[in-house]
Structure 1
Amino acid sequence: MMNNSEVKLARRRYKLAHNVDITNNVRTIMVQLSLLPLWFAAGKRRDCYFSKLADESCNGILNLVNDPSTTLRCILRHGGFQNLRIRLTEFMERVDLSDCPQITTAFLQLALCSYSTEPLLPERVEQSLIEHQNLVGDKYPISRCLVQSFSFEAVHVLDISKWSGVHFEAAIELFCKLFPSLRTLKASYCLNFRMTTLYYLVQKFSLVDEVDLTVDVSPAIPMQVSTISTNIESYRDLSGSSYKMIRDELSLSSITKLTLKGRSDINDMDLERISSVFASLSHLNIKGCTSVTDVGISKLICKCMELHSLVVSDTRFGRNSILSLCSSFPSEGFPVVHCEQKNSTSFAFRLQKLNIGGCKSVDETSLLLLLSHTFRLKSLCMRGTVLADDALCNFFGSSLERVDVSDTMVSETSLIHIIRRNPGLRLFKARGCRNLCHGGSRQEEGKLTSEVLSYHGCSPGEDMYFELGRKCMLEEAAFGWGFSPFSLKHLGPAIKSLRAIAVGLGASFGHYELTLLHETCPMLESVVLHFQVISDVIVKSIVESLKHLKVLGLCYCLGDLSSLSFYFSMPSLRKLRLERVTPWMKNADLVILTQSCPNLIELSLSGCKHLNSESQRIISNGWPGLISIHLEECGEVTMNGASSLFDCKAIEDLSLRHNGCGIQRSFVVDAASKLPMLRKLSLDLCDANEGGFDSPSCADRFSLSIIKIARCKQWRCPFNLQKLDDCRRPLHKETIILEWNSKELRTTVVKERV
């Protein structure tokens, strides 16, 4: 049975699938089962009150995915358009149709045909289905059912994320008629939404100012992995005519916020076209766009004069881009900025958000230059760069709300400087910063002199956590080296409103502090602990006392942990990671876990060596709504294959490594066809019972965009000379990565295990 929070979510999220308004006084609700998101329908299969309806909904959705034309005809013969009707009203401002793989262009048109005043004749509907079944090239037929003029002027936001079977040009034609006042379009994880489709969109919608085209970021970031080989296989270009049609007709667009995160199919030419068409662009996110270069980014910066938010993490952003940011913009056509700062005429001075995390092409000198030009930043991320105290102390802004300096070389001195100048900090992440360890020396790395310390109002020996507790009110934090029980005490009121905390290598939380975490941070929703000493008492205190807890991660922790830790009800928990902390776990313990955490959508288990093939059935029956499953070195879970996991129909991310040599050669193809939402798949050749896996064709991969296959070599222990055969152990050799985007299939072999 749904609790109050689930009822509220259902009212807000799924009212599009209802024939009547949902109010507290309504006793009967007619739900269109074929319109429910797959993850929601799958998750209700365990509920004793809704299991039958959930099964019916899942079967209907999967039938639509596998054979849309036949299933649509069957639905129309038995129930007419009412079984497909999407509920829209003249007052509705947001339409959310995400997570629905069953929606195709034909489905969408037929679902909206009931609003037409023209009689809907069977032969006309049949003709519409035939037209869409044969949809090719640059022909975007709109059903004659929709010729009559009707529209929903109030709709400003449309979310069509995770649609895989839609011809987007045809859908845009339809949306143009239905939602003429559209402002925001979200089409995340839609690989067939190409850049040419984006240009077609801006032609049709003059008012759209925000577009989100996020896809999964490549695991083969060139600056972060050692590439052995790369092979690129381009698709036959089916959109050439579309691009030719719109190439000369593009005019300036009103789009101000554009998110292209993970789009490996865009290059420098695309960035140049974006800078020409989207002249008003103020927010750009190209995180993980591996095909763009530093030169291409720098040219875009010079042309987009109104940029104030730039997310370029995990790209080749480097010295050229920084020089463009630090150069002066032309005074003509721009308002004069009255400020005492000497660099107030630079592009960087206007930035409010800057994310260059993981950009290995940036050197220390460039960082020093960049930070000396930024002043108005509210969000700054320099995770994994060569950032050091010299550069960070050159930042004189006072508006920071979010700062992430994880895995950098900064020390307490420079962070105290940042904290004192920015009392409005809400997010603070400093995991992996070894120079924060007490007693650490940086003399050999060029530690700041006493004169510089004095200039910045800092002195050796001051405590960063004391400054945080005195100045800030944090909502999210990540700590590592140098964090101790005394640090938690010093933070005091700064973490009273904390909602997410992550503690990593080098930190020491303390037994007493962890048991009282619910008193120190009563609002916590996410707790992730790495390399900490834990016990049953600690876990019991966390899961029992933190009533809002949604995410729990225990990774590589030490201590005496037993099955008693998970005998407590955790109905709010949505994500659970147990990595190398439960080696004793057996099937009986897994059953208890499914009863204690009935609403999980993400599960990660590793090092559970007592699990077996029956564990798959326990997982799929206990959590049918899972969207992410990671199992690594979990006994013999896949010794007899992995077909039972296919009962979790809404899986988007599946990782199975070193769980038993029993996975069939056809597993990848089978998973792609039976799990319509699956986007990421990770396997290991050690688990292949026939020595390898078949790769799906572009047409047969459905939503699948990334496949990672690790390959091991046998390593012989030199210290056991008596039993040479028994001491062989698999040792990682390389990883094969297959990535599909809108243009090509890219096969990369890297040394790392990603």
Structure 2
Amino acid sequence: MKLAQLSNPTIENGLSSVSVHWDVESFANVLRFIFGCPVEITSNNFIPLNEAALFFGVETLLLKCRVWLEEVTSQSQLLCLDSLIDIWKYGLERGVTGKLLCELISGADNLRSLCLREIQLVDDALYRFSGASLEMLDVSDTEVSVPALAHVIRRNPDLKSLKIRGCRHLLQQESETKERKLCIPSFTPQDFYSELGKSCKLEEFEVGWGFSFFSLAALKPAITTLRSLVVGLGGSLGHDGLKLLPTICPMLEILILYFQVISDSAITEILRTLPHLQFLALCYCFGDISSLSFKFDMPNLRNLKLERVTPWMTNEELATLAENCTNLVKLSLIGCTLLDCEAQAIISSGWPGLTSLHLEECGEITANGVRSLLDCHALEDLILRHTLPMLRKISLDVCDASEGDFDIPSMQTSKEHLRPAELGSSPNPGA
């Protein structure tokens, strides 16, 4: 039973990673184990709760939440969806105490992969970590400080993946932990990036708050072999930093930019001089870019996201994009308000092999339905937002629906996920 597996996590010699995932089935088992009552999860109240984790077991959750859970379930033997969500969030936020985290980390010297995403009290745990074999460290969306990160970086020269996006405290130069006051000298963010540049050879880097053009220059020795770069909110590469990327990181395959200042010249330089680039995402960026950024051949590009950066895009410019990015398999467009229903035919003829397509707030693109998109026979993930405002995801796997004549039963309530799988031609369409 999964509950038993999750309740007693252990650290063994030679352990290379810790990853405790709590899926919906395990979640239901925990509640059933505590209260001895069924948990009503139906098609009307189910949401995908996968991808979350308590990381180090459910015992702490059970101790801290038992009284609260009893109050939640005191009025009914069946838990409602809102209660499930509340329990999930409470456990995720408070399921790991600082003491438990420190005890676990202090005994895990052989870890190669350490993920502390969204966990509180990370600094003390990192100071307790004495391992020197880390290849991946993820402290995204935590309150980690610069000195605590530097403590780990110095000891782990084989680090290849570092994810520190969403860490606001990296802007601060001081840490309030006892370990920092006793052992760690004053350390600025720029000192940290210089240390990182001297110590590691990164292949994957996700960053946000406090990252700048000067940080990029300090990091140069560490990112010459970088393959994936994500710059999020709080980071600011600037025009010069973007134009310098191809020189510093010539091996980039993935570049994702959020809230950056961009320009035609910078984007053109990136697309023309990064021959290995396969995934480009420009999301909620500032500045002026035009169709000039995409008017040349980009055969290696496989995944393109343009989210609220191309409001000027018309059908003609979309057609030009299709001519120059012929090998796309994933496309996301948000805020292209000048597109109309003819854009569907451009998409289906230009990229018939698309597996993922997201179109949100793109003018009148769905005004006359979505029949043309059925010509994208490989489509697995489709998000449309215009005349179908409640539809969030549709997956059509091996569907015999080229004429659009398969039937979906009428539903009394709205659905967020629709998955007709392996549908064949029916001799009785009304069945």
Smaller-chain TM-score range? 0.7 to 0.9
Q: 1:418 aligns with which of 118, 133, 152?
A: 152
Letter in 2 for 1:562: S
1:496 CA displacement? 0.4
Encode CA deviations 1:509-536: one digit per residue, 9 max, x unaligned: 1211211211100111110000000000
Quote the residue 1:405 is aligned against: 139
1:696 CA displacement? 5.3
- Change in CA separation of 1:675 and 1:503 when aligned onto 2, cut-off 3 Å: farther
Return the alpha-carbon distance in structure 1 between the equivalents of residues 348 and 288 of structure 2. Answer: 29
Return the alpha-carbon distance in structure 2 between the equivalents of residues 400 and 574 of structure 1. Answer: 31
Alignment of 1:577-656 (within 5 A): 577-656=305-384
Alignment of 1:353-432 (within 5 A): 359-360=92-93, 361-432=95-166
The reply on whether 1:268 has 2:6 as its aligned counterpart is: no
Return the alpha-carbon distance in structure 2 between the equivalents of residues 670 and 375 of structure 1. Answer: 46
The reply on whether 1:448 has 2:177 as its aligned counterpart is: yes
Letter in 2 for 1:448: T
Letter in 1 for 2:399: S
- Change in CA separation of 1:592 and 1:293 when aligned onto 2, cut-off 3 Å: same
Return the alpha-carbon distance in structure 2 between the equivalents of residues 392 and 400 of structure 1. Answer: 12
- Change in CA separation of 1:739 and 1:464 when aligned onto 2, cut-off 3 Å: farther
The reply on whether 1:537 has 2:265 as its aligned counterpart is: yes
Quote the residue 2:429 is aligned against: none
Higher normalized contact order (CA 8 Å, seq sep 6+, divided by chain length): 1
- Change in CA separation of 1:640 and 1:295 when aligned onto 2, cut-off 3 Å: closer
Checking the alignment, whether the CA contact within 8 Å between 2:283 and 2:305 is kept in structure 1 is yes
Return the alpha-carbon distance in structure 1 between the equivalents of residues 419 and 297 of structure 2. Answer: 41
Quote the residue 1:499 is aligned against: 227
Letter in 2 for 1:656: L
Q: SS of the residue aligned with 2:288?
A: coil
Letter in 1 for 2:288: D
Checking the alignment, whether the CA contact within 8 Å between 1:509 and 1:532 is kept in structure 2 is yes
- Change in CA separation of 1:375 and 1:739 when aligned onto 2, cut-off 3 Å: farther
Quote the residue 2:80 is aligned against: none
- Change in CA separation of 1:604 and 1:477 when aligned onto 2, cut-off 3 Å: same
- Change in CA separation of 1:591 and 1:434 when aligned onto 2, cut-off 3 Å: same
Encode CA deviations 1:667-704: one digit per residue, 9 max, x unaligned: 9798883469xxxxxxxxxxxxxxxxx8559xxxxxxx
Q: How many pairs does the alignment contain?
A: 361
Encode CA deviations 1:358-416: one digit per residue, 9 max, x unaligned: 94322333222222221110011111222431222111111101101111110111000
- Change in CA separation of 1:540 and 1:695 when aligned onto 2, cut-off 3 Å: same
Return the alpha-carbon distance in structure 2 between the equivalents of residues 318 and 396 of structure 1. Answer: 19
- Change in CA separation of 1:624 and 1:387 when aligned onto 2, cut-off 3 Å: farther
Checking the alignment, whether the CA contact within 8 Å between 1:641 and 1:662 is kept in structure 2 is no
What TM-score, normalized by structure 2, do the two folds share? 0.75
Return the alpha-carbon distance in structure 2 between the equivalents of residues 367 and 581 of structure 1. Answer: 41
Return the alpha-carbon distance in structure 1 between the equivalents of residues 289 and 133 of structure 2. Answer: 43
- Change in CA separation of 1:294 and 1:506 when aligned onto 2, cut-off 3 Å: farther
Letter in 2 for 1:268: L
Checking the alignment, whether the CA contact within 8 Å between 2:132 and 2:156 is kept in structure 1 is yes
The answer to which of 456-465 and 485-494 deviates more is 456-465
Alignment of 1:283-322 (within 5 A): 287=21, 289-293=23-27, 314-318=52-56, 320=58
Alignment of 1:9-158 (within 5 A): none
Q: SS of the residue aligned with 2:101?
A: helix
Q: SS of the residue aligned with 1:505?
A: coil
- Change in CA separation of 1:488 and 1:617 when aligned onto 2, cut-off 3 Å: same
Alignment of 1:661-680 (within 5 A): 673-674=399-400
Runs of 4+ in 1 over 6 A off after TM superposition: 281-286, 667-672
CA root-mean-square deviation: 3.7
Return the alpha-carbon distance in structure 1 between the equivalents of residues 252 and 58 of structure 2. Answer: 42
Return the alpha-carbon distance in structure 2 between the equivalents of residues 399 and 538 of structure 1. Answer: 37
Checking the alignment, whether the CA contact within 8 Å between 1:550 and 1:575 is kept in structure 2 is yes
Q: SS of the residue aligned with 2:261?
A: coil
Return the alpha-carbon distance in structure 1 between the equivalents of residues 314 and 51 of structure 2. Answer: 41
1:284 CA displacement? 9.1
- Sequence identity percentage: 47
- Change in CA separation of 1:737 and 1:386 when aligned onto 2, cut-off 3 Å: farther
Q: SS of the residue aligned with 2:312?
A: coil
1:613 CA displacement? 0.3
Quote the residue 1:476 is aligned against: 204
Encode CA deviations 1:549-580: one digit per residue, 9 max, x unaligned: 00000000000111111002110000000000
Quote the residue 1:256 is aligned against: none
Q: 2:168 aligns with which of 430, 434, 452?
A: 434
- Change in CA separation of 1:596 and 1:316 when aligned onto 2, cut-off 3 Å: same
- Change in CA separation of 1:656 and 1:672 when aligned onto 2, cut-off 3 Å: farther
What TM-score, normalized by structure 1, do the two folds share? 0.44
Checking the alignment, whether the CA contact within 8 Å between 1:319 and 1:366 is kept in structure 2 is no
Larger Rg: 1
Listed as ranges, the gaps of 5+ residues in structure 1 are 1-265, 276-280, 300-311, 324-357, 677-693, 698-707, 710-735, 742-754
1:459 CA displacement? 2.6
Return the alpha-carbon distance in structure 1 between the equivalents of residues 296 and 109 of structure 2. Answer: 49
1:466 CA displacement? 0.8
Q: SS of the residue aligned with 2:128?
A: coil
Return the alpha-carbon distance in structure 1 between the equivalents of residues 105 and 395 of structure 2. Answer: 49
